[in-house]
Structure 1
Amino acid sequence: MLELIICSLVTILPDYLLRRQFQGKRWGDQINFFTVWYELRWGITLCAMLTISLITIVFYYHPTTSSVASFFRTVTILSEAGGRVEEIYVENNQRVQAGDPVFRLDSSRQEAARETALRQIGEADAALTLAQSDRAAAIGTLDQARAAYRQTFEDLERRRTLQERGSTAVSAQEVQSLENELDVRQGALDAAEAGVAAVDATISVLLPAQRAVAEAALEQAEVEIEKLTVYAGTSGTIEQFTLRKGDIVSPVLRPAGILVPEGAGQGRFQAGFPQISAQVIRPGGVAEIMCVSKPFTVIPMVITDVQDVIAAGQIRPSDRLADAQFQGAPGTVTAFMEPIYEGQTDDIPPGSRCVATAYTNNHDRLDDPDLSTGRWIFMHVVDTVGVVHAAGLRIQSILLPLQTLVFTGH
């Protein structure tokens, strides 16, 4: 409508003034509802052509969209394991700092596992003390076996010496008996040495390994106990937190609440422009937004980045080939915007719905000396007609409260 009014001022109105001045035709006489289409045919035709051209230029080079929001990330409050709530440290809508405890689950099973590990460590220490006593006994047995072996060996050597001298006091049977006894003493000595080695292995290898296993079990139990206390991973505000003592929390089915990180979505807006504007929307471009949560205010923005892909074209690997005819909605070009002046969007709640208009700026290109005259005039026209969308956005910001509160009743 605004474009039509502007175009009629330079087409239909001059046509009427010329016919009145030179032909003497008046409204309601020669020019009425039935003859106006013929009398002002030149002005009406030019107005239609100019209006269509103006609308095309305005909407292409200065695109607008109502798909604008300040998206923000939320963090789900979950425990690593399921369990029953034992203690709660925060309340709903409370601000927390990173590392603050949120709630704690029942840890009776983990406490029992820790107590068992502590008892196993004590058992390993007691076994080590007992093994030290066993080693002393084994060493005593070893000394006894060595002494018996030495005594038998000396007796055998003495009798062999007498036998070699031809003494009749020693018989061959007696020597044979001592040799057999010496073999028995050697076996007892080997068994005593093996017993000492076994006790040493128990002291140096087995019992330390058992104690290490018990210590690992203790550490695991303590880690499990620590995991039962859920901490805030980042600073923010606790939302939708209705947890009570005795509730069951599951990391899959029943989260405890939501943590909105501090500063999430502040000062950064995402706008989805039509795909036909993909060649116009560029980083560094100027835009304006008007949000429902802040009426009567138009905020100047700068486009900081443009997403390289269109979300509607994404696919996931599956057992079926993607067919282009089932792509669905065409999708939009996502642009990221920030306020030109700091602080202008601080009072806009994250998640607010807004309307945005982006403007094509050819100011730097107009200074190019190699620019042709026709191109120079066209760029001037493009930059000038942006005022149409700027005026429309401001009119919309004024009418928004009336439209929202009176006509829709929300």
Structure 2
Amino acid sequence: MFELLFCSLLTILPDFLIRRFVQGKRIGKEITLYSVWFELRYGIVLCLILTVSLITLIFYFHPTSTTAVSSFRTVPILPEGSGRVIETYVPRELEVEVKAGDPIFKLDSTRQEADVVTATQAIAEIQGEIALAQGELAVATAQVEQAEASLKQAQDELDTRQELFERNANVVSERDLEKLQNTVAARQGALNAAKANQDLVETKINVSLPARLNSAEARQAEAQVELEKMTVYAGVDGTVSQFVLRKGDIVNPLMRPAGVLIPADAQRERIIAGFGQIEAQVLKEGMVAEAFCGAVPFTIIPLVVTEIQTQIASGQVSTGGSLYDASQSVKPATITTLLEPLYEDGLRDLPPGAVCTVNAYTNNHERLASGEPIGTGEFVFLHAVDTVGLVHAMLLRLQALLYPIQTLVLTGH
């Protein structure tokens, strides 16, 4: 309507003035309800053409999105396993502020506590085996010393008899020498066995038992981790919402979350808007935009386009039980665009999740001021594009003014 009134001032009004003051035709005489089309046909046709062109120019180069929302991130409150709740730490309120590391609720941990006790007992048993092995090592060392002394005694006896045999063969018989040699060999074997037993005990103390102890400690640490998982903590600072969990409830991470944690740094950051696919060639990162949200009436929020999703959701293909049929994407999806406030704390007063209307504006000022050669027609066209953006901005402000009346008075909401 605004565009029609504006265009009529440039077309129908001059046509009427010519008819009235140049040709002398008056309303109610020569210009009546039945002859107005014939008399003002040039102005009416030009007005319609100019209005359609103006509307097309405005909405194409300065696109609008009515599907914009103040987005925020949520984190589901879930344990890593299912179980029955035995204690909750969050008060029964709609929203509760929590800090990172604050406990939220605890599941029944009887089995996990038993596993920790079992793992601790296993460590104590292995430590006892290590102490026992230390005693075995002392016994094995004493046995080696005893075997060495016996071997030395037998070797000395053999050396003495051998020397006597060499001096006088009649003093010592060959049979006695053979017995002494066998005795030395036997005691040498006993010494080797004692050393082998000593090495075995040392290996047991230095390798086998420490490895078992490390394994037992790892099992204890694993059991302790599983026990700690039974208590769910807040991972970040934020707000716990929709927490209806009570003592005795069953929590399953696949079917029933305990509530929602809204991180403090994930609120009032940006607006996600969906623009029509016809705007794909117009939308650019860095475009200035404005938003009007019903949650903050009579307020226009300056924004800037920071990111444009290159993929359109209607074309995605995922594996399933049936082949993808293009006819299923009858409704065209929008171009997802991220917008952030142009000024710091620009979304401070906007509640997260609020629905908004967003206008993005094409700006050719830098190109016009760059000094690059531009034709006259293009120069006029670019100026016209930037100028008609004012009309779209006025329409957005008019919507912001009329929104409370439409919502509270006309619709009764």
TM-score (norm 1): 0.87
**Cα displacement string for residues 73-114 of structure 1 (whole angstroms, at most 9, x for unaligned residues):** 111222233333333222351111223222233333232222
Instruction: For residue 15 of structure 1, give the secondary structure of its aligned residue in structure 2.
Output: helix
What is aligned with 2:260? 258
**Cα displacement string for residues 344-381 of structure 1 (whole angstroms, at most 9, x for unaligned residues):** 43111111111112223333444448444333333333
Contact kept in structure 1, 2:84 and 2:250, CA below 8 Å: yes
Note the 1:139-154 alignment, pairs <5 A: 139-154=141-156
The amino acid of 2:129's aligned partner reads A
Q: 1:294: Cα distance to partner?
A: 1.5
Contact kept in structure 2, 1:264 and 1:350, CA below 8 Å: no
The amino acid of 1:256's aligned partner reads A
Q: Distance in 2 between matches of 1:243 and 1:370?
A: 68
Note the 1:9-408 alignment, pairs <5 A: 9-91=9-91, 92=93, 93-165=95-167, 168=170, 170-316=172-318, 326-367=328-369, 368=371, 370-408=373-411
Moved more, 320-329 or 151-160: 320-329
Q: Distance in 2 between matches of 1:360 and 1:206?
A: 75
Q: 1:290: Cα distance to partner?
A: 0.9
Would you say how many aligned residue pairs link Structure 1 and Structure 2?
Answer: 410
Q: Distance in 2 between matches of 1:73 and 1:214?
A: 42
The amino acid of 1:394's aligned partner reads R
Contact kept in structure 2, 1:99 and 1:233, CA below 8 Å: yes
Q: Distance in 1 between matches of 2:177 and 2:2?
A: 135
Q: Distance in 2 between matches of 1:175 and 1:87?
A: 86
Contact kept in structure 2, 1:290 and 1:355, CA below 8 Å: yes
Change over 3 Å in CA distance of 1:15–1:139 after alignment to 2 = closer
Change over 3 Å in CA distance of 1:60–1:115 after alignment to 2 = same
Q: 1:250: Cα distance to partner?
A: 2.9
Q: Distance in 1 between matches of 2:149 and 2:338?
A: 94
- Alignment RMSD (CA, Å): 3.0
Q: Distance in 1 between matches of 2:278 and 2:42?
A: 32
Q: 1:384: Cα distance to partner?
A: 2.9
Q: Distance in 2 between matches of 1:364 and 1:155?
A: 113
Q: Distance in 2 between matches of 1:323 and 1:118?
A: 59
**Cα displacement string for residues 200-230 of structure 1 (whole angstroms, at most 9, x for unaligned residues):** 2222222222222222222222233333332
Moved more, 36-45 or 138-147: 138-147
Q: Distance in 2 between matches of 1:384 and 1:207?
A: 85
Q: 1:240: Cα distance to partner?
A: 1.5
Instruction: For residue 273 of structure 2, give the secondary structure of its aligned residue in structure 1.
Output: strand
Instruction: For residue 71 of structure 2, give the secondary structure of its aligned residue in structure 1.
Output: coil
Instruction: For residue 297 of structure 2, give the secondary structure of its aligned residue in structure 1.
Output: strand
Contact kept in structure 2, 1:78 and 1:251, CA below 8 Å: yes
Instruction: For residue 76 of structure 2, give the secondary structure of its aligned residue in structure 1.
Output: strand
The amino acid of 2:264's aligned partner reads E
Q: Distance in 1 between matches of 2:52 and 2:149?
A: 122
Change over 3 Å in CA distance of 1:139–1:357 after alignment to 2 = closer
**Cα displacement string for residues 111-135 of structure 1 (whole angstroms, at most 9, x for unaligned residues):** 2222223222322232222223222
Moved more, 231-240 or 245-254: 245-254
Contact kept in structure 1, 2:98 and 2:237, CA below 8 Å: yes
Q: Distance in 2 between matches of 1:364 and 1:180?
A: 109
Instruction: For residue 299 of structure 2, give the secondary structure of its aligned residue in structure 1.
Output: strand
Q: Distance in 2 between matches of 1:359 and 1:288?
A: 8
The amino acid of 1:381's aligned partner reads A
Q: Distance in 2 between matches of 1:29 and 1:111?
A: 101
- What are structure 2's unaligned runs of at least 5 residues? none
Q: 1:48: Cα distance to partner?
A: 1.6
Q: Distance in 2 between matches of 1:133 and 1:378?
A: 99
The amino acid of 1:251's aligned partner reads P
Change over 3 Å in CA distance of 1:331–1:164 after alignment to 2 = same
Q: Distance in 2 between matches of 1:198 and 1:374?
A: 98
Contact kept in structure 1, 2:104 and 2:234, CA below 8 Å: yes
Instruction: For residue 359 of structure 2, give the secondary structure of its aligned residue in structure 1.
Output: strand
Q: Distance in 1 between matches of 2:345 and 2:208?
A: 68
Q: Distance in 1 between matches of 2:50 and 2:142?
A: 118
The amino acid of 1:274's aligned partner reads G
Q: 1:291: Cα distance to partner?
A: 0.7
